Amino acid sequence: MLSVERVALGYGRHLILHDVTFSVEKGEMIGIIGPNGSGKSTLLKGICRLLSPSQGRILLNGRDLEGMSRGEIARRIAVVPQAPHLPETFTAFEIVLMGRTPHLGRFRFEGYRDFEIAWKAMGITRTQPLAERTTDKLSGGQRQLLTIARAIAQEPELILLDEPTAHLDINFQTEILDFIKGLCRESAVTAVAVLHDLNLAAQYCDRLILLGRGTVHALGRANEVLTEENIAEVYGARVHVYPHPVNGLPTVLISPQGR
Amino acid sequence: MVVLLIVLGLVVGFSASVGSAHIPFGTVWKIMLSKLPWVELDGTWSRNTEIIVLDTRLPRIVLAGIVGTALAVAGTTYQGLFRNPLADPYLLGVSQGALLGAVIGFTLPFDSHGLSGQSLIPLFAFIGALGAVLAVYAVARSGRTLPVTSLILAGVAIGAFLAAVNAYLIIKSNNEELHGIFNWMLGYFGMSDWNEVVIVLPVAVVGTAALWLYARPLNVMQLDEEQAQHLGIHVERVKLILLIIATLMTAAAVAFVGTIGFVGIIVPHAVRLIWGPDHRSLLPLAALVGAIFLILTDTLSRTVTGPEQIPVGVITALAGTPFFLYLLRTRRRGTFF
């Protein structure tokens, strides 16, 4: 459903990614991994057209993103930003309801259906008890869940997540990724997530894209991408990779120097 | 909303009845109603009374109301657009630009009050205001985007520059010019007549309506610009349209009555504290509260000390600050209504 073809992305003259090519199938959950500054967030910005590629093209269901309006893109692609700013005087429900924006004409108010969709999205993310609270009274994890609820209310075909589990405890991390995974399985939503934690990426993603040296270094299933050699080459870190004791997926372990 | 409309009606009536000649509240309303084409009322009042109400007091009241609306609505928009509670309608140099225009108008060698009796000062001020904002815009623009931070910084810098120019010109001016300039600076409704109302009214009404149509995008932009784009808002376009409308409204208001501080920054805050942050209700409420507030303060300014009038800007600050501080101390969304 998404195909990225020989794309180059950057800010002005400063090129960050080049020759990026991959495609994503409907219902897949894809993880983008790579060291700091390898262009993970830049790639996400390209896919939601906050940045336009200087070369190549990005197709959504066969249509070039460049030919689509902001509204059209927002009806198909939702983005969950990393630690987003939420205006503190709005209530949680109002924030989730904003997800309906691309589906409403400028002169139309939200209707009963929109309230229902927003409320259901809060049900899926278990944020309904927070609905009446203003956002300044929510924790970091709750805010993250709220932006995911907003993305769900947007009814997109594709959800992009920029480190959705950063700053969250281990319980929230699994909870949030379970939600996303569930969405992909049950509602045939496609997800592309930037993830910092290699073990989370291995556990949850159908395929991984490892970025390094300005382009795609490796692409495939977790056991193909997360090898000791790949990680040493891209991150410059010496790690040990073992199969997970329960499901056999690769697990990345570190050992401090001198031990 | 309905309550506020009724309050507005009462305030207009009250304001028209007080003054150097007291006219009963009922009579004021009868006079106003009798001018409506489909209303028949027996005139039990003197011709003089009618002139005082319709030609002296009412234009001034209506103008104060319109200006209050324009400033409050523009202030709400600027605060929303910049996501900055300190933003006011004069942030982008409107007031200093208008002042420069007015100062030039007052100090011109020929009589700028000529030309069929209509003062040219508003025209000078309007051009000055727009010129200043255009300069700010040109400086702040980078490529096809208009970063909010650059806009605010450019506004402050150009405002400061114009203030220096103004200070120099004012020092160089003679006493008579100085008096005119000073009165204009603090907001002066004294010369109001229907001609001014006819010019400012459409700007304020059309502007408020146009801004209201952008209330939802403005709500979504409270997130931040990136998230607003993710939700399908064409941020740069909306920003530009809102800036243009709000600036035109401010410039029109400033051009006729000078820089009236406080209304544009405090009324939006007060309304937001009481009724919450949704711009779809915020904008019309601010429009009504702004009108009521400025009519009341202008009434005070012309009655409190008798014939000698206090500039309305002094009253807005003196009367508005305690009220606002009270709101701030007791703020909690939804506890008022």
- CATH number where B91 lies: 1.10.3470.10
Per-residue pLDDT tens for B148-191?
Answer: 888 888 988 999 999 899 888 888 877 777 777 777 776 667 66
What is the pLDDT, as a whole number, of residue B206?
94
Q: Say which residue, B307 or A194, is predicted with more confidence.
A: A194
- For residue B306, name the pLDDT band (cuts at 50, 70, 90): low
Q: Does A259 touch chain B (CB under 8 A)?
A: no
DSSP lists the bridge partners of residue A253 as: A240
SS (H, E, C) B145-174: ECCHHHHHHHHHHHHHHHHHHHHHHHHHCC
List, edge to edge, every strand of the sheet that includes A158-162.
A77-80, A158-162, A190-194, A29-33, A207-212, A215-220
Kindly list the residues from chain B whose CB atom is less than 8 angstroms away from the CB atom of residue A85.
223-224, 227
When scoring A86, A101, A144 by the number of chain B Cβ atoms within 10 A, the one with the most, hence best to mutate, is A101
Kindly list the residues from chain B whose CB atom is less than 8 angstroms away from the CB atom of residue A144.
none
Q: Say which residue, A17 or B313, is predicted with more confidence.
A: A17
Question: Cβ of B277 and A78 within 8 Å?
Answer: no
Q: How far apart are CA B256 and CA B207, in angstroms?
A: 17
Q: Say which residue, B261 or A17, is predicted with more confidence.
A: A17
- Report the range of poorest mean pLDDT among A195-199, A254-258, B269-273: A254-258
Average of pLDDT values for B3-27? 80
What is the pLDDT, as a whole number, of residue A116?
92
CA-nearest of A12, A72, A53 to B145 is A12
What is the pLDDT, as a whole number, of residue B191?
65
Question: Cβ of A90 and B234 within 8 Å?
Answer: no
Question: Cβ of A89 and B333 within 8 Å?
Answer: yes
Among left, alpha and beta (phi > 0; psi -120 to 50; other), residue A12 is left
What is the pLDDT, as a whole number, of residue B116?
44
Question: Cβ of B232 and A50 within 8 Å?
Answer: no
Q: Which residues of A126-137 are buried (b: 16+ CB within 10 A; e: fewer)?
A: ebbebbeebbee
Kindly list the residues from chain A whose CB atom is less than 8 angstroms away from the CB atom of residue B277.
87, 89-90
Matching residue, tokens 């409050």: B72
Per-residue pLDDT tens for A107-154?
Answer: 677 888 999 999 999 988 888 999 999 888 888 888 888 999 999 999
Q: How far apart are CA A104 and CA A136, in angstroms?
A: 27
Per-residue pLDDT tens for B245-259?
Answer: 999 999 888 888 888
Between A and B, how many residue pairs show a Cβ–Cβ distance under 8 A?
64
Q: How far apart are CA A200 and CA A181, in angstroms?
A: 12
Question: Cβ of A79 and B217 within 8 Å?
Answer: no
Token readout for A174 is: 């699994």
CA-nearest of B292, B282, B329 to B80 is B282
Q: Is residue B242 part of a domain?
A: yes
What is the pLDDT, as a whole number, of residue B158?
92
The answer to whether residues A255 and A238 touch, using CB atoms and an 8 Å cutoff, is yes
In the predicted structure, residue B115 carries a pLDDT above the cut 80: no
Backbone angles phi, psi at A171, to 5 degrees: -70, -50
Mean pLDDT estimate for chain B? 82
Task: Compute the Cα dihedral for B76, B81, B82, B88 and give only its sign.
Answer: negative
Q: How far apart are CA B232 and CA A169, in angstroms?
A: 31
In the predicted structure, residue A208 carries a pLDDT above the cut 70: yes
Kindly list the residues from chain A whose CB atom is less than 8 angstroms away from the CB atom of residue B222.
87, 90
**pLDDT > 70: what percent of chain A?**
98
Average of pLDDT values for B46-61? 80
Q: Tell me how many degrees the CA angle A144-A146-A150 measures, rounded to the nearest 5.
A: 120
What is the pLDDT, as a whole number, of residue B187?
67
A193 burial level (CB within 10 Å; 0-12, 13-18, 19+)? buried
Q: Is residue B153 part of a domain?
A: yes
CA separation, residue A83 to residues A40, A176, B55, B171 (Å): 16, 14, 59, 52
Per-residue pLDDT tens for A90-106?
Answer: 999 999 999 999 998 76
Question: Cβ of B83 and A87 within 8 Å?
Answer: yes
SS (H, E, C) A70-103: HHHHHHHEEEECCCCCCCCCCEHHHHHHHHHHHH
Q: Is residue B24 part of a domain?
A: no
ipTM value, please give it: 0.86
Q: How many domains does chain B have?
A: 1
Domain containing B135: what range? Answer: 65-329
Question: Cβ of B231 and A154 within 8 Å?
Answer: yes
Q: How far apart are CA B304 and CA B223, in angstroms?
A: 45
Mean pLDDT estimate for chain A? 90
Backbone angles phi, psi at B42, to 5 degrees: -80, 125
Point out the residue among A84, A89, A101 whose CB comes nearest to the CB of B232: A101
Per-residue pLDDT tens for A215-238?
Answer: 999 999 999 999 999 999 999 888
Angstroms from A12 CA to nearest CA on chain B: 11
**pLDDT > 90: what percent of chain A?**
60
Angstroms from A73 CA to nearest CA on chain B: 7
In the predicted structure, residue B117 carries a pLDDT above the cut 50: no
Q: Is residue B131 part of a domain?
A: yes
In the predicted structure, residue B84 carries a pLDDT above the cut 80: no
CA separation, residue B199 to residues B54, B192, B195, B248 (Å): 18, 12, 7, 12
What is the pLDDT, as a whole number, of residue B12?
82
Matching residue, tokens 């904003």: A98
